[in-house]
Every structure is written in C-alpha cells, then in structure tokens.
Amino acid sequence: MMIAPADAVAELLASAGARDYLGEPVTVVDHLLQAAALAEGAGSPAALVAAALLHDAGQLLEADGTAGLSGAELMAGRDNDHGERGAAWLASWFGPAVTEPVRLHVAAKRYLCGTDPAYYGLLSPASRYTLTVQGGPMDGPQARAFEASPHHRAALAVRRFDDQAKDPAAQVPGLDHYRPLLEELARARA
C-alpha cells in the first residue's frame, strides 16, 4: 500500500535531519514551514505553496530516497543535488507544478546571482557558501536555458520565499495546516 503524501511529508519532516540547522538560524523544518507561509501569504497558487513547503525535501533524503541528512554533504562541500533528489521523491505523488519548482530552486539561485547584481547581497552566509558548491552564478547561455523552462518563474518565486524563510522568531502554521492542500494536489497530480 502506498503511503499518503501528507503522511510521507510528515514522516520526512519528523526525521532527525529536519531538526538540523545547516548553517542557518532556523531548522530545516522551520525553514520549510516559513517558506510555505510566505507563499500562502502572498496569495500564491496551491502548487506553489506546496513547492515552497517541499523545496528542501531533498536535503532530508539519502540518495536511495530514505530519510537522512544529505544536507550535511552540501555543507561539507559536496553538492547533494537536493533539488533533483527532492523532485524525484515528490514525483511519487505530485505533478510538475509542484516538482519542477523544487527541482529548479537551486538553479534559480544561480540564475539570480548571474542576472541580478544586487541579489547575491541578499543571500545568507550559508547560501553564499552553497552557491560555490552548486556551480556559482549562471553565465549567459545557462541563464537562457533556465529561462526556457516553463517552470522557471515558479522556481524564482520559490527561491525568493526560500531566501526570506530564515527568521527564528517567525510564528507560522504547522504541517497539519497544509495537509488538505497536499492531499488535493496529489489527487489532481498538480
């Protein structure tokens, strides 16, 4: 029997890795809940709220898709390809409107650093460090290839929510608030 998506997400966010900080002032789970709350507060479509909630799921997965802290690899200087890893795991339940912004959110950081001179200054020290591990700012051809993705705008939005979702004092809804949204998106495979 296949596990329900909200239950799978709940298990992942209850894993030991979700309580890690990965160089930021908030835990991974707090970061994800804040990103979702920011997306929801901005009036984003349901799929974008889910993508914001799930964008770092790959940080909490080993290469085989089991819970583990692959984010430690990234902080140790090895690209864990967490966007791809998370999108592949999420594809069991969700369609491209959710999985593609997750897959592309690292590329979105690289894109913004390559196309917006002021953007790099907005990054946290941990995000600046991981940028070097993830390939650095995009050059012109890479940026044009990124722009060709039909999901690049959603990925940029997730990236902006990601950057803002690092407030240790933020009060946001817990995962149960997003369960109906996740279940509906999974039914629709959005």
Give me the mean pLDDT over the 73-84 stretch: 82
**Residue-range domain boundaries for the chain:** 5-162
* Token pair of 39 as six digits: 């997306």
Return mean pLDDT, the chain. 93
Lowest-pLDDT range of 36-45, 70-79, 90-99: 70-79
pLDDT for res 190: 59
Q: Rounded to two decimals, what is the model's pTM?
A: 0.94
Q: 37: pLDDT confidence band, cut at 50, 70 and 90?
A: very high
pLDDT level of residue 42 (50, 70, 90 thresholds) = very high
Q: What would the pLDDT profile of 137-182 be if each residue is shown by its tens digit? A: 999 999 999 999 999 999 999 999 999 999 999 999 999 999 999 9
pLDDT at 125: 94
**What pLDDT digit, counting tens, does each position of 85-114 carry?**
999 999 999 999 999 999 999 999 999 999
* Helix ranges (DSSP H) in the chain: 5-13, 28-41, 46-54, 71-75, 82-90, 96-115, 125-133, 140-147, 152-164, 179-188
Cα torsion 183, 61, 176, 151: sign: negative
Stronger pLDDT, 78 or 170, i.e. the higher one: 170
Residue with tokens 């909490």: 60
For the chain, percent of residues with pLDDT exceeding 90: 82
Residue 151 has what pLDDT?
A: 98
pLDDT at 64 over 90: no
Q: What is the DSSP string of 49-78?
A: HHHHHHTTGGGGB-TTSSB--THHHHHTT-
Q: How is domain 5-162 classified at the CATH fold level?
A: Hypothetical protein af1432 (1.10.3210)
Residue 167 has a pLDDT of: 97
